[in-house]
Amino acid sequence: MGKNVRKGTAVRAAVVVAVLLGAAGCGTGDGGTDDAEKRDGTSAASSATPRAEDTGPVTKASAQADIEASAADAGAPANDPDVAEMTAARCEAGYRGYGTEDEKVGLERYEAVLGELRERGWQPSFEVPERRDGNGTVQIAHKYFTKRGWTLSAEFQGFETGLISVSAADKACTDEIRDRIPLPLRSALSAGGADGQQP
């Protein structure tokens, strides 16, 4: 019983953090703004992101460029324009690509996106056990990566036409937001491992 209560508290605390992330919009080293291109079509355009000499601090713009270029080079669907609007004032970068009836998104496309992210310096840090259906087909996969102070979450959902979702957050920014949370909720977050390393 106590374990379930702690888990429920951690979930509620994580929701509070998500709400605060949406409202805070703290800086990330590039003014907190992104001119994320809104693209139409079923596939992301080919990437021109350079691979050489990836050093220095990660900014919101560079994280977004990594994510979108990885999706494009993996042949994943274009980013949902609403995601770019939602993250414009936040301390995070994001992508969400939906499959269609004509071009469904499968696990292999998700794995290709992860491979592209690794090529751009994102290091695996944690993996949630896959969830499979009765036939053994993976329906949900979720992995975490880090890169110079940023944490990235990449998820695949195989339901219907498929979905790939990627979000990256600046740890310094999220820590600043966490410090604004009342101590009891912050303690629940720590107990629940909601720092992006271990859900």
Q: Where are the domains of the chain?
A: 2-34+57-192
Amino acid at 62: S
How many residues are given for the chain? Answer: 199
Quickly list H helices, the chain: 2-24, 60-73, 81-87, 107-119, 171-178, 183-192
Residue bearing tokens 């509070």: 16
- Determine phi and psi for 38, rounding to 5 degrees: -95, 115
Task: Give phi and psi for 120, each to the nearest 5.
Answer: -95, 15
The H or E element spanning position 97 is strand 92-98
Question: Highest mean pLDDT range out of 18-27, 68-77, 176-185, 187-196?
Answer: 68-77
pLDDT tens for 125-168 read: 999 999 999 998 999 999 999 999 999 999 999 999 999 999 99
The whole-model pTM stands at 0.66
At 77, the pLDDT band (50, 70, 90 cuts) reads very high
